Amino acid sequence: MKKITTLLVMMALAITVTAQQQNIIVKRQGEGFMKANSECLIPGITADQQKQIQDLRLKQQKENLQISNELYEKRAQLRTLQQVDKPNMKSVNSKIDEISALQNKKLKLMAEHRNNVRNLLTDEQRVQFDLRGNRGGMMGMSGKMGRAGKQGRSVHFRTGEHMNGAGNR
């Protein structure tokens, strides 16, 4: 009985030690620079400017949400039109034109928002804002950090090496 108890304790310890030494994989999220507001990263921004930018952003997000919802609906309608036995190409092309018009409207809305934010900034702040480009708060990154995670790539917890979705390096 004593031998069996000793053997069970040794096996439990061995399993615990191996479990702790297992490699841990953490997926990258790419949520931006410390989840900060991109405008907050502009040097010397005042509280008043920040408030005005937040108001502009809220207005733009509301308009953008409406357009995005319409885009989802139009894309679903397009799929429905394309998935019938004999699709009516005139209807398909018309739906594609509607989608293009909404995408165009969305791009113009983004450009208008960017210009409105620029108009609130001083010359020095505007230079920093322009250097940032369309990267948001990524501060010098390519703006594609989240893409690695979406493609099944991850980073090994201990070594920092990139791995594919199957856990291979």
Distance from the Cα of residue 103 to its chain's centroid: 19
Q: According to the model, what pLDDT value does residue 75 have?
A: 96
Structural domain that includes position 86: 47-120
Q: How far apart are CA 139 and CA 44, in angstroms?
A: 16
Is residue 74 within 8 A of residue 56, CB to CB? The reply is: no
Q: What's the domain count of the chain?
A: 1
Q: Is the pLDDT of residue 29 over 60?
A: no
Query: 86 versus 35: which is more confidently predicted?
Result: 86
Q: Is residue 52 part of a domain?
A: yes
- pLDDT tens, position by position, 103-146: 999 999 999 999 999 999 999 989 988 888 766 544 444 444 44
Q: Is residue 136 part of a domain?
A: no
Q: Is residue 6 part of a domain?
A: no
End-to-end distance of the chain based on CA atoms, in angstroms? 46
Q: Is residue 93 part of a domain?
A: yes
Query: 134 versus 153: which is more confidently predicted?
Result: 134
Q: Is residue 17 part of a domain?
A: no
Q: Is the pTM of this model over 0.75?
A: no
Q: Is residue 147 part of a domain?
A: no
Q: Is the pLDDT of residue 151 over 60?
A: no
Is residue 33 within 8 A of residue 148, CB to CB? The reply is: no
Is residue 2 within 8 A of residue 9, CB to CB? The reply is: no
The residue count for the chain: 169
Q: Is residue 30 part of a domain?
A: no
The CATH number covering residue 65 comes to: 1.20.120
Joined tokens for residue 60: 């733009």
